Structure 1
């Protein structure tokens, strides 16, 4: 194994998996989240490497599992496996990530759609833990050199995916930049479906076609006017249906995540971060200094 995408959850890791899987010099597994260094570590190195047994000679191999980011064990285990692993981490506005995490739990059916963000925060400590960037990144940097870690921002991936893709290729030593149909695609939007049976059937058919090497055919089918309209009408966007955090919750979380954002800014050598939570704190800082 040559690289792993370590997270964070709800921060474009699915995009990362897809763009790398389309590069001719990269081999990924069909299953995006192998979770080897967390849930599947007991299966051993042989199982892990068997997931990439079809890699052509000369290809680099890797996978993306967001559970690695906030795991206390994954960095140590990954280092023991290969001290030369390249790491890719994509971060997101910490409060935006918390809200998306909440929508994800609703979409998965783990909690009721009527559950407020505040109730979700009270019930699930992982909401906050996965946005504690300082603690989680320091844990990884205890086991890997800073040069091994590429930090990107999901907001910049969305705004300029080609530039982010180039940074990834450079980090992994991929000399030839290749175009990818997935570069401009958005994956795993927080949506639910009016007719879940229909969506399940369509997804099963799409997965079957992909397993037969007909991935391009799936993409073309999605563009057909009738099917495209049906897919669109079946979607319900959770970020419209579910209320966002209250202003009081946002203020509390912003202050709680301040050390994490300052750490990220220092780590990446940036004076500004592409996060509204960061921007909201800066005027207050300037006022206090004045």
Structure 2
């Protein structure tokens, strides 16, 4: 296995149904992708080439080989590292209405107990740009380094809306970009990817019980474990994204969205329409 054997990389964006793309590609026997996000070119580059290539040990000759790491889109070093080591690859970016993506990111962090319930302190642009939640949605600026190095033709820009409206057409675009023949949507890829409505053990309790994880791990999925978990798990009540806050976010992102329209050649006018949140079969992406 050599670096030159890798054919494509999905670079992001987070909370934009990239796991759905990965699942669809993994369902094709002609494609190999490792399950975890490797984050090699963003966070793990010091581990070296041998570590990276070892993550593809299940790949066989004749299969298209790729990986997905959403952190690449946001890492200042990732584009240059990718181009230095993998100049031959094709890139895929799937993006989402940045207002909805920011709220989805906030909800994920809230569910984990990493942010508090005062949603405006994290999502109101007038209080400062939170890079993790707000800055990540300025897609045009994040894509520019990849285009500068690889050229526009090597980067396929997709949108979350395509997954919800016409998943068959979305995957056809992906497969055409990768040189793969058409293939029907895999049923496994139509299932929920992540469900933010699932009851969870409250974050404070999770931290207190963290020492038990190695002990109970073998019991996960068993009836006694799930019954005990059900006694303490609670449905998360998320702070709501008000119309006023949504409008402020829309104004903040408008210049970036207009630049993305010019870059992608696709109209994103519907992103300004303040549509309700979109879901893929109930899943939060």
So what's the TM-score if we normalise by structure 2? Answer: 0.77
The structural deviation recorded for 1:87 is 0.8
- The Cα of 1:144 is off from its aligned counterpart by 1.1
Residue 264 of structure 1: aligned partner = 260
**Superposition pairs for residues 139-288 of structure 1, below 5 Å?**
139-195=145-201, 205=220, 236=235, 241-247=238-244, 249-270=245-266, 272-273=267-268, 275-277=270-272, 279=273
Report if the CA contact (8 A) 2:200-2:236 is conserved. no
Q: Is the 8 A contact 1:153 1:274 kept in 2?
A: no
For 1:18, which of 17, 20, 23 is the aligned residue? 23
Other-structure match for 1:115:
118
Q: What is residue 39 of structure 1 aligned with on the other side?
A: 43
Residue in structure 2 matched with residue 221 of structure 1 by the alignment = none
Query: How many aligned residue pairs are there?
Result: 247
Distance 2:164 2:59 in 1: 29
Which 4+ residue blocks in structure 1 deviate beyond 4 angstroms? 194-197, 200-206
Q: CA deviation at 1:167?
A: 1.0
The whole-number CA distance in structure 2 between the counterparts of 1:156 and 1:179 is: 13
Aligned-pair distance for 1:82?
A: 1.1
Match of 1:62 among 66, 69, 85: 66
Q: CA deviation at 1:26?
A: 0.8
Distance 1:259 1:203, change over 3 A: farther
Aligned-residue offset at 1:56: 1.6
Over aligned residues, Cα RMSD in angstroms? 2.8
Deviation per CA, 1:197-219: give whole Å up to 9, x if none.
Answer: 8xx9799757x9xxxxxxxxxxx
Shift of 1:250: 2.6
Q: Distance in 2 between matches of 1:148 and 1:235?
A: 45
Taking structure 1 as the reference length, the TM-score comes to 0.76
- Pair 1:53-2:57 in alignment: yes
Contact residue 172 and residue 182 of structure 2 kept, 8 A: no
Query: In 1, distance between residues paired with 2:136 and 2:51?
Result: 28
| 8 Å contact kept, 1:107–1:192 | no
Q: Provide the rounded CA distance (Å) in 1 between the counterparts of 2:219 and 2:192.
A: 20
